[in-house]
Amino acid sequence: MVMTIFTEGRWDKPFVAELIKRHFGEEQLNKIELLDTNGYTSLELNLPKFQENNDLGKLNLVIFDADSADNNGGFQTRFDFLVAEKARLGIEFEFFLFPNHLDDGMFENLLESIVNPNHADVIECFNSYLECIRNKGEDKGVIYTLPAQKAKIFAYAEAVLTPKEFKNAHKRKEWGYSKDDIWDFNSAQLNPLIEFLKLHIQV
């Protein structure tokens, strides 16, 4: 293993693995250890692994959500937090923040942006559903909690995969990334993440 990529959650890990396999090849993927950190505040729990990699000359990459002000995040907030964590813990790593290392958002925002155009209308359906809930609430003077971005991806995957595919993918904590008719891994939306990985993965 020449590097470890730390993702924020279990669901991000298979996605990053699929992206590396498709754009850098399986041989490169086999040289990379992928670990999830169980949340952006849990870097310290992985401190020994970061230290070990630093000492052995292996690279640490961190791929987390930028999040937004709604959940005490946002690109700049999370950026500053990770820079501060590096100094506090005395470790070295390079990082990328979903969706594009520029905007607020999360892994699921990136996923939404790479759905296969043939099924983009499924996402539109979900957006209409969100709008419907919001309007109904306004009519009654009630603020309904809107389903999270994760629910949108869940609904999309459940709609476009067969029940068996969906069940198996869910068990593996992924959304059928190997299926080209579901996800567009050639989408330009992936370019910021691919460019970040290119800086560190020697092909």
Q: Which is nearer to another protein, 37 or 68 (CB)?
A: 37
* 171 is a contact residue toward another protein (CB under 8 A): no
Query: Binding of another protein at residue 36 (CB under 8 A)?
Result: yes
- Closer Cβ to another protein, 51 or 187, answer by number: 51
Helix/strand/coil (H/E/C) assignment for every residue in the chain: CCEEEEECCCCHHHHHHHHHHHHHCHHHHCCEEEEECCCHHHHHHHHHHHHHHHHHCCEEEEEEECECHHHCCCHHHHHHHHHHHHHHHCCCCEEEEECCCCCCECHHHHHHHCECHHHHHHHHHHHHHHHHHHHHHHHHCCCCCCCCHHHHHHHHHHHHCCHHHHHHHHHCCCCCCCCCCCECCCCHHHHHHHHHHHCCCCC
Q: How far is the CB of 189 from another protein (least distance, A)?
A: 28
172 binds another protein (CB under 8 A): no
Residue 47 binds another protein (CB under 8 A) = yes
Residues 49-88 vs another protein: string with x where CB under 8 A?
x-xx--xxx-------------------------------
Task: Give the residue with the Cβ less far from another protein, 52 or 80.
Answer: 52
Binding status of residue 27 toward another protein by CB under 8 A: no
